[in-house]
């Protein structure tokens, strides 16, 4: 007879689950009690716009400064160049609100009213647009945002001569896990601000971001307990949790219903650009759709090519003809021939070999595992290396999680464009502006289609601060840099440091479902790539809303890396005379061009004196007591770089050989009054393929926030052997702005030329 077994001891996983259940129960009880006592937070409102306008003399001084500059370089155009920012978030955007919490050094809420006051009294802009993420704009916040824009315009004075023009809009923030599913981010900006010419609801994208805001991954157990753990700052956390609850409470709009027949208080979504354009068609309002972040590797899948979506189905040339080439997230202009991933004959992902100018992060993942092989056989070690490479590629933008225990420093500068100007993080060259310009749509049987594009830049600021690039300062406040305030909070937010596992592990759906959003992207290494942001400049007939809108429609627009550089770029021998940037022409002979550029004003410390405005404490919080305060001295333009692109004539034609950058470099004399150059293209003869030309005006080097990115020390092969990262958290001093020399610049919109026999 067999004796009966006695009581068994629970296994370790079972004991752990029981303890976790008890702990969660206790936390739940505490949370419920806390909720009853403190009310669970409150609604974050829009704030109140300061009702006064700028002194008329300040606005007049801008025009007079430009008049003097135009005369110095012989520019005859009477149009004034106005500077603005068409990409601005407030804490009505979920990522901005989460970034505002105390454990991340956050300042607290920055509502729409802050954007108006900052644009007027801090950065001194001529126009701006609110573009909060539609995915987290509740119907109430959308209404409040529009009301704030109207307040801002009312405070600007006479609509025929305002000191500032505010536009309303939203960001359609789409993310796909594979290149074929990824369309990217687009700002939608409306011409008018009255209710009769604005949609009832913003239009959100579906996918991971939308799911996160509706409960999947927006918060995890650690972040949900922050009001208890950081009790002194509980109110700010409770307000964020209230914001998340408000978003989750908005029901989804029924699909397939005309936008004008939908309920007012529902969440409207468009899964693709086509759906977005169709909904805008149903509204019928004047709107611009501006893609941005085309090369950002934070969320863009490896191997992405923007050109794959340049079909009639997924584009709208009536609205989508401007692209943002630069922002506080970096430069998206330049094409490079390196690849983040390659594919075998069966479509399987293959890790590319490293090059002197680029190391794929999948390769770095393999090398990190190789360093842990120890006494393993060579064959087994190589198997693990290959497995690490594949696991990294399969993990997408979360591939860094596959090498357990790897510190951010271990990844070096893998994935980065080593020779680009201010590149975006984990660069995706297939989305670059140059790649887009070199591509054509061959999906139409009638023949290739060549979309026309203009260039602009903006900030993508997330603290309601349009135009932050006027002074290079306050890295923590004026860029998207963020991080834990001390080591304990870093561990609480990111989890305890894991051990060095010699075997790579896959990124699972469970990871994506349970981890907080910032744990699934490279927030720490990416902090070194946040900049103060760019500006959009328009050649405008006046300061009115209509004049600014008309300039945008003409594509007579350019972008700068944040400085107020003046730039004119013209085709001199157009069929009816001069053709400005953004235009196109059919010519009987070779094109001839003119460029005039004047550097930005040197800034004086502090703010202009004798000005009435918001209370001193408000200016101190918004501007850090440093305003746009131009002197009469200007920076020098050192050279003009000309880029020529001759777009594809066959679908299988590689774009790399069609992009000539720079095609010409034209030196400037260094005269602070400005630079004037002319050039022609003798290869522009009848029968030559169409060509696009644009110019960069390069300014003398000046210090800029994060211009050095990871600040690598390199070996003889160009490898990053040691980095001096500019951390977003406590590891870099609060007052360290991580300044490095930067050649600030302006990018003209392209001019398209075809030369045909007369």
Between 124-128, 306-310, 554-558, 635-639, the lowest mean confidence (pLDDT) is in 306-310
DSSP symbol at 582: T
The string of pLDDT tens digits covering residues 413-460 is 999 999 999 999 999 999 999 999 999 999 888 889 999 999 999 999
More confident call, 374 vs 685: 374
Which phi and psi (to 5°) does residue 233 adopt?
-105, 25
Residue 726: its pLDDT value, please? 95
Residue 40: is its pLDDT beyond 60? yes
Regarding beta strands 80-88 and 127-130, do their DSSP bridges make them parallel or antiparallel, or are they unpaired?
parallel
More confident call, 12 vs 373: 373
Residue tagged 């000046």 (tokens):
702
- ∠ CA 268-522-184 to the nearest 5 degrees? 35
Confidence at 28, pLDDT banded by 50, 70, 90 = low
Residue 10: is its pLDDT beyond 90? no
Residue tagged 């990018």 (tokens):
747
Residue 7: its pLDDT value, please? 41
Tokens matching residue 176:
């796909």
Between 113-117, 234-238, 338-342, 626-630, the lowest mean confidence (pLDDT) is in 234-238
Residue 491: its pLDDT value, please? 82
Residue 4: its pLDDT value, please? 41
Q: What CA–CA distance (Å, rounded) separates 183 from 313?
A: 13
| Whether 697 contacts 565, CB under 8 Å | yes
Residue 6: its pLDDT value, please? 41
Residue 200: its pLDDT value, please? 97
Q: What CA–CA distance (Å, rounded) separates 244 from 234?
A: 15
More confident call, 591 vs 688: 591
Query: Residues of 223-249 as b/e, b for ≥16 C-beta within 10 angstroms?
Result: bbbbbeebeebbebbbbbbbbbebbee
Helix (H) or strand (E) holding 679: strand 675-680
Q: Where are the beta strands (DSSP E) in 431-565?
A: 454-457, 535-540, 557-560
Residue 499: its pLDDT value, please? 80
Tokens matching residue 558:
């350019």
Confidence at 44, pLDDT banded by 50, 70, 90 = very high
**Across residues 389-412, what is the average pLDDT?**
94
The string of pLDDT tens digits covering residues 603-632 is 999 999 888 889 999 999 999 999 999 999
Bridge partners of residue 369, in order along the sequence: none
Give residues with Cβ within 8 angstroms of 509, minimum separation 6.
none
Residue 275: is its pLDDT beyond 70? yes
Measured CA to CA in angstroms, residue 240 lies from 43, 144, 488 at distances of 9, 17, 21
Residue 1: is its pLDDT beyond 60? no
Residue 209: its pLDDT value, please? 58
Confidence at 219, pLDDT banded by 50, 70, 90 = low
Query: Residues of 577-605 as b/e, b for ≥16 C-beta within 10 angstroms?
Result: eebbbbbbbebeebbbbbbbbbbbbebbe
Residue 508: its pLDDT value, please? 84
Q: What CA–CA distance (Å, rounded) separates 110 from 47?
A: 8
Instruction: Break the chain into its structural domains and give their ranges.
Output: 79-337+416-481+530-564, 342-414+488-520
**Across residues 327-342, what is the average pLDDT?**
97
Q: What is the mean pLDDT of the chain?
A: 91
Residue 342: is its pLDDT beyond 60? yes
Residue 417: its pLDDT value, please? 97
Q: What CA–CA distance (Å, rounded) separates 164 from 126?
A: 5
Stated pTM of the model: 0.93
Residue 564: its pLDDT value, please? 98
Tokens matching residue 5:
């077994």
**Across residues 498-523, what is the average pLDDT?**
82
Residue 512: its pLDDT value, please? 78
The string of pLDDT tens digits covering residues 738-748 is 999 999 999 99
Nearest to 532 by CA among 631, 429, 422, 619: 422
Nearest to 591 by CA among 693, 675, 660: 693
Confidence at 485, pLDDT banded by 50, 70, 90 = confident
**Is residue 195 reached through a cis peptide bond, with omega within 30 degrees of 0 on the bond before it?**
no
Residue 67: is its pLDDT beyond 90? yes
Nearest to 220 by CA among 457, 24, 6: 24
Confidence at 45, pLDDT banded by 50, 70, 90 = very high
């Amino acid at each position: 007879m067999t004796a009966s077994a006695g009581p068994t001891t629970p296994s370790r996983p079972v004991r752990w689950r029981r303890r976790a259940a008890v702990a969660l129960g206790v936390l739940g009880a505490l949370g419920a009690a806390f909720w009853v006592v403190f009310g669970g937070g409150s609604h974050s409102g829009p704030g109140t716009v300061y009702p006064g306008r700028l002194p008329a003399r300040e606005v007049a001084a801008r025009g007079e400064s430009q008049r003097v500059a135009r005369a110095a370089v012989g520019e005859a155009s009477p149009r004034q160049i106005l500077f603005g920012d068409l990409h601005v978030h407030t804490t009505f955007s979920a990522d901005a609100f989460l970034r505002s919490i105390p454990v991340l050094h956050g300042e607290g809420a920055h509502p729409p009213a802050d954007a108006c006051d900052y644009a007027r009294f801090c950065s001194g802009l001529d126009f701006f647009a609110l573009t909060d993420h539609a995915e987290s704009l509740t119907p109430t916040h959308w209404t409040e945002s529009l009301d704030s824009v109207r307040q801002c315009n009312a405070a600007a004075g006479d609509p025929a001569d305002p000191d500032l023009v505010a536009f309303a809009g939203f960001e359609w923030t789409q993310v796909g896990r594979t290149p074929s599913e990824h369309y990217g981010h687009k700002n939608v900006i409306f011409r008018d601000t009255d209710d009769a010419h604005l949609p009832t609801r913003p239009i959100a994208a579906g996918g991971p971001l939308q799911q996160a805001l509706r409960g999947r991954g927006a918060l995890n157990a650690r972040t949900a307990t922050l009001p208890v753990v950081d009790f002194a700052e509980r109110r700010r956390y409770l307000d964020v949790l209230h914001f998340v609850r408000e978003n989750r409470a908005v029901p989804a709009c029924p699909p397939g219903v005309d936008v004008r027949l939908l309920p007012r208080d529902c969440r409207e979504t468009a899964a693709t650009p086509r759906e977005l354009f169709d909904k805008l068609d149903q509204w019928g309002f004047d709107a611009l759709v501006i893609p941005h972040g085309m090369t950002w590797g934070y969320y863009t899948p490896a191997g992405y090519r923007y050109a794959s979506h340049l079909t009639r189905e997924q584009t709208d040339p009536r609205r989508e003809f401007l692209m943002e080439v630069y922002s506080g997230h970096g430069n998206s202009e330049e094409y490079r021939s390196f690849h983040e991933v390659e594919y075998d004959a069966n479509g399987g992902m293959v890790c590319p070999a490293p090059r002197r100018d680029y190391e794929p992060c999948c390769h770095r993942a393999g090398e990190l595992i190789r360093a842990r092989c120890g006494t393993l056989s060579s064959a087994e070690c190589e198997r693990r290396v290959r497995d690490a490479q594949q696991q990294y590629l399969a993990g997408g933008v979360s591939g860094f999680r596959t090498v357990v225990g790897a510190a951010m420093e271990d990844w070096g500068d893998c994935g980065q464009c080593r020779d680009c100007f201010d590149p975006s993080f984990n660069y995706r060259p297939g989305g670059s502006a140059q790649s887009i310009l070199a591509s054509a749509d061959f999906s139409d049987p009638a023949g290739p289609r060549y979309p026309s594009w203009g260039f602009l830049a903006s900030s993508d600021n997330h603290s309601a601060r349009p135009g932050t690039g006027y002074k290079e300062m306050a890295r923590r406040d004026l860029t998207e840099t963020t991080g834990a305030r001390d080591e304990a909070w870093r561990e609480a937010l990111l989890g305890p440091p894991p051990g060095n596992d010699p075997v790579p592990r896959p990124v699972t759906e469970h990871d994506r479902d349970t981890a907080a959003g910032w744990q699934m992207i490279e927030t720490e290494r990416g902090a070194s790539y946040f900049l103060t942001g760019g500006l959009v400049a328009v050649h405008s007939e006046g300061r009115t809303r209509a004049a600014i809108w008309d300039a945008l429609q003409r594509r007579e627009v350019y972008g700068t890396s944040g400085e107020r550089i003046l730039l004119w770029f013209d085709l001199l021998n157009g069929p009816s005379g001069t053709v400005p940037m953004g235009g196109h022409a059919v010519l009987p002979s070779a094109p001839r061009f003119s460029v005039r550029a004047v550097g930005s004003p040197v800034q004086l410390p502090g703010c202009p004196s004798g000005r009435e405005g918001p209370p001193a404490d408000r200016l101190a919080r918004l501007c850090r007591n440093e305003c746009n305060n131009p002197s009469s001295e200007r920076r020098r333009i050192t050279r003009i770089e000309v880029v020529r692109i001759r777009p594809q004539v066959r679908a299988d034609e590689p774009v790399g050989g069609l992009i000539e950058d720079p095609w010409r470099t034209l030196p400037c004399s260094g005269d602070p009054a400005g630079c004037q150059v002319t050039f022609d293209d003798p290869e522009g003869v009848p029968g030559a393929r169409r060509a696009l030309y644009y110019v960069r005006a390069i300014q003398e080097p000046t210090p800029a926030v994060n211009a050095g990115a990871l600040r690598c020390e390199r070996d003889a092969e160009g490898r990053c052997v040691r980095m001096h990262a500019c951390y977003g958290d406590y590891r870099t001093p609060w007052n360290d702005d991580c300044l490095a020399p930067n050649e600030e610049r302006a990018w003209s919109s392209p001019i398209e030329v075809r030369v045909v026999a007369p």
